[in-house]
Amino acid sequence: MVSENRLRGVLENGKPAIGEMAPDFELPALIAGVKQPLRLSTYRGQKNVALAFYPFNWQEATAAQLVDYQVHRPRVLANNAEIIAITVDSIMNTTAWERVIGSFDFPMCSDFWPHGGVSESYGVFRKPSRLEREEHRLAQGVGASERAVVIVDRSGSVIFRKVYDCNQVAPVEEILTILERERI
């Protein structure tokens, strides 16, 4: 379960709030195994987008989540939407992992450099606390993104934000419920 303090910190950090414009970004992405740049603003006016932040490749929860997204992708597309997966792992790491787990048709982005910059702009990057820095210790998962979903509508506004426990699969049904409501 996500600790109440961590959840409060992520949701109350104001990055970006519901109704605010989503920060634009350009990241290297794998789309059906092909590396290419992806810019969020290219979806503006076209599709709703579910940004699925996840801590790392090679995790059981991540594999289950992304496989589920791939299985339900036809429903996502039928709702004039796209899922964009984002991790702080390098594009090379993502490429190797995708070769093992199987190809995904939705974009898988690498927020590796500057490390976690996009995750931070969305308020889901896990940084060490002041106490951890002072004691020279790091909590598990520091330097990665939270497992979180941010849904951006066609106009570019954030309409949904939720953080999950790092070992919990962010359910595709939750995303689909919102996308079906927003479909035009």
Closest CA to 51 of 62, 63, 40, 61: 40
Say if residue 36's pLDDT is above 80: yes
Say if residue 31's pLDDT is above 60: yes
Longest Cα–Cα distance in the chain = 52
Counting every residue written for the chain, the total comes to: 184
- Cα separation of 128 and 77, whole Å? 37
Res. 3 pLDDT band, cuts 50 70 90 = very low
Q: What is the pLDDT of residues 37-77, one digit of tens each?
A: 999 999 999 999 999 999 999 999 999 999 999 999 999 99
User: Residue 158: beta bridge partners?
Assistant: 152
Closest CA to 70 of 102, 105, 99, 101: 105
Q: Which residue's structure tokens are 């790491």? A: 93
Q: What is the pLDDT of residues 130-150, one digit of tens each?
A: 555 555 554 556 689 999 999
Res. 9 pLDDT band, cuts 50 70 90 = very low
DSSP-derived letter for residue 42 is G
Provide the token pair at 124: 């889901």
Say if residue 1's pLDDT is above 70: no
Instruction: For residue 3, count other CB atoms closer than 10 A to its CB.
Output: 9
The pLDDT of residue 114 is 87
Could you give the angle at the alpha carbon of 82 between the alpha carbons of 6 and 18, nearest 5°? Answer: 40
Q: According to CATH, what is the number of the domain 4-182?
A: 3.40.30.10
Say if residue 5's pLDDT is above 50: no
